[in-house]
Structure 1
Amino acid sequence: MNDYDSLVIESILLSEGYEKALSIDDASLVIVNGCSVRKHAEDRAMGFLSSVRKESRQEKKIVLAGCLARSVKNIPDFVDIAVPPTEYKNLLEILRNNRNSVEIKSEGDYTGISIKSGITLLISISKGCDNFCSYCIVPFLRGKEISFSSESIIEQIKKSVNENTREILLMGQNVNSYIYKGLDFTSLVSMVLSEFKGMRVRFVTSHPKDFSIKLIEIMSDNKYLCSHLHFPLQSGSDRMLSLMHRKYTLKEFKSLVELSRTILPDIAITTDVMVGLPKESKDDFNETLNALRDIRFDDAFMYKYSSRRFTLSRYIDSPSSDEGLSRLKELIDIQKKIKKEKITALKGKLLNVLVERKSKNRDTEYYGRDSGNRNVIVKGKSVEKGKTYNVRINEICGLTPTGEKTEEK
């Protein structure tokens, strides 16, 4: 969602005649879109803004945007203006009047804005979140979940696609809970596929408690709905899942994964996993390790719990920082091994790859992503950016499948 927010800000400013500076030194306006999901991200954003103010050779207007604009208790002196995600529609007025805006309002629907698009067009289908997981600050910063109308979503895609666009990424804090006047997310995906034929479609992020297996059935029937599911597990312990307010069990989660793989054997499934949570015991952690071994995700975002303002879990004691880091390292080591095994198994396989850029160092190497959202190196002289090719994988470079385009089907 942060990438989408940045594109919204950029699109608004460019449409009003602002120009992108070539460097920080050349800029008269500096905007940092800060994330508040983890404290480390907050500290980095604040440190960067502080250094910009100290090192500036000319007067600059410094703007703190994103969730961080609302999560900080006090806006620091080196920030001139704070603008949360719900207020980007008022960004120009806020900049003109030099005033802060940190209140959550009913705004936040940016479907009327033409979004800058590269090969992949990012489209938000909803705003906010109603899940209130005990560790997560997002509902407090982005407000109540509101789904945008299918008409406005389709219209924004039409406004934003250009000659370079090859892929549409539908985004939401929980896309599976999308509902607008009886239209659910599965129906919305079908509409987008029908309206923009030949365009790849992806979605993120799914929540296991709301997930519909119909999406996998559509993937199986329509090659343009990419065969990738990002499916956050968070913990392999039912006790921890309950404390986290995730509203599913490990058995229910595994059942959805198994059914998805039965319908579409080649589907790539990735996840999020957190360790060092309040009240997480060694047994809870071991259950998470066992879950990773059993499910065998294609990849995972893994991180140590970070206490967040407003959340319920911040009032509960958690394992020591050293213990959390030790658990994270063990988790990462296991997942790295699984990922390597799964990537190695792709050797000899035929992957459908969308080429996104050319190598800076090698004239005959290109980088792209397959339907499973895996990075792939494509070798060949007649390869073009923005084109999709069938690629026969003949080697694995590090953890990257590598091959040459082929006419094979």
Structure 2
Amino acid sequence: MPSTLPEGDPVPRDGSLPAAALAEVPDATLSIYLHVPFCRSRCGYCDFNTYTAEELGGGGSRRDWAAAAIAELALADRVLGSDRPAVGTVFVGGGTPTLLPAADLARVLAEIEGRFGLAADAEVTTESNPDSVDATDLEALRAAGFNRISFGMQSADAGVLRILDREHTAGRAQAAVAEARAAGFDSISLDLIYGTPGESLDSWRSSLDAALAAAPDHVSAYALIVEEGTRLAARMRRGELPEPEDDDLADKYLLADEVLGRAGFGWYEVSNWARTRADRCRHNLAYWRGGTWWGIGPGAHSHVGGVRFWNVKHPTAWSGRLAAGESPGYAREVLDAPTRRIERILLELRLADGLPLEVLTKSERGRLAGPVAGGLLEVRADRAVLTLRGRLLADGVVRDLLD
């Protein structure tokens, strides 16, 4: 089942935010995330806030999602006020957003455009499992204004897909990319996972080659994380499957960077590669650069001017609060300036564009010499940038730098 939400301060029933937070809105980028919590089945490694029909037990119907999302958009509209930029990025994640009818996603996107306006070059993404869409769905989504799609490929190895409890066949992701391209999508991304028990280095290489053969514009590659409470964790605890090994994960990361780099993809965040700068996921960059985003949906997280807040988890509770005219917010925290600075270091140092040295204190800048000498960091034009080896040890680099 999904992990528990963090605790925090209460969210006002009307969802209002401190004046200091709202004062930052006009000068920040504005993004909207939409969480669709529905899945046909639960993958063994997943602890996201998602639900199958059986887990919902008759509550939180898919039919209710679009109306509730529109109600939360109205709340965001009231809270943020009129002095704000147009929405620069929209990202529909899950779950499996494309289990919903394309008309529902189109309806919500139209509401965003009508209430907030979309920037002329807005990036509008939906995630999708390859087996949850067909050519007709993709054409409808493109006609509605979606211009980017991210498919959860995970692997091209049928055995790996079985261990991960993925339902699609090994070749379906590549076919879905071709269908999305034919439908007119400007940017297509594939998500991969490495480190699944039983996956050899050759198997991982084959998955990378298969992903590249589909000619995507963007590839994300994530190490398998075994989360407590998942079926995968239970199988490992019983000794049915071995746990991932750090050296194996490092070897597979290095192989991904080599194969993707040779194919013309450049890394721009530790786990993300794009064919060109224009193909980078601008929505995720807004997260990593501390922009303003409002998360719509059960369990969705938001950030506005140093205030982070998150919604109740269950779809029934989320939609019920909105129907009662209340914020679905579960809790929030107001970040002070030192915390925001530390978070900026944690996130921006993961980017290929690097961290401006001016963000570091004098003593932190004095500690740069160590990771530079150790081959973990480079200093380029007043920015600290991780090397390839540094990317493997990014958390440790940050920990050693901070006061």
Q: TM-score, normalised by structure 2?
A: 0.50
Cα separation, partners in 2 of 1:20 and 1:187, compared to 1, 3 Å: same
Where do 1:2-401 residues align within 5 Å? Answer: 12-13=11-12, 15=14, 19=18, 119-124=30-35, 126-127=36-37, 129=39, 131-138=41-48, 144=55, 146=60, 147=62, 148-161=64-77, 162-163=81-82, 164=84, 166-167=86-87, 168-178=90-100, 184=101, 186-195=102-111, 196-197=113-114, 199=118, 202-222=124-144, 225-264=145-184, 267-314=186-233, 315=236, 316-318=241-243, 320-337=245-262, 338-340=264-266, 343-344=275-276
Deviation at 1:257, TM superposition (A): 0.7
- The unaligned stretches of length 5 or more in structure 1 are 23-116, 179-183, 348-352, 361-366, 368-397, 400-409
Deviation at 1:342, TM superposition (A): 6.7
For residues 54-101 of structure 1, what are the alpha-carbon distances to aligned partners after superposition, in whole Å with 9 as ceiling and x for unaligned?
xxxxxxxxxxxxxxxxxxxxxxxxxxxxxxxxxxxxxxxxxxxxxxxx
User: Within 2, Cα distance between the matches of 1:207 and 1:317?
Assistant: 27
- Report the AA paired with residue 12 of structure 1: V
Conservation of the 8 A alpha-carbon contact between 2:152 and 2:173: no
For residues 197-239 of structure 1, what are the alpha-carbon distances to aligned partners after superposition, in whole Å with 9 as ceiling and x for unaligned?
45358344322221243343135435xx231101121112122
Cα separation, partners in 2 of 1:271 and 1:19, compared to 1, 3 Å: same
- The unaligned stretches of length 5 or more in structure 2 are 22-27, 267-272, 292-351, 354-403
CA RMSD between the two structures? 4.4
Cα separation, partners in 2 of 1:187 and 1:173, compared to 1, 3 Å: same
Q: Which has the higher helix share?
A: 2
Identity of aligned residues (%): 15
SS at match of 2:193: strand
Aligned residues: 250
Cα separation, partners in 2 of 1:160 and 1:122, compared to 1, 3 Å: same
User: Within 2, Cα distance between the matches of 1:153 and 1:130?
Assistant: 20
Conservation of the 8 A alpha-carbon contact between 2:156 and 2:171: no
Cα separation, partners in 2 of 1:190 and 1:16, compared to 1, 3 Å: closer
Deviation at 1:291, TM superposition (A): 1.3
User: Within 1, Cα distance between the matches of 2:213 and 2:275?
Assistant: 17
Bigger Cα displacement from structure 2, 187-196 vs 242-251: 187-196
Cα separation, partners in 2 of 1:121 and 1:138, compared to 1, 3 Å: closer
SS at match of 2:130: coil
Deviation at 1:277, TM superposition (A): 0.8
User: Within 2, Cα distance between the matches of 1:16 and 1:192?
Assistant: 20
User: Within 2, Cα distance between the matches of 1:342 and 1:118?
Assistant: 21
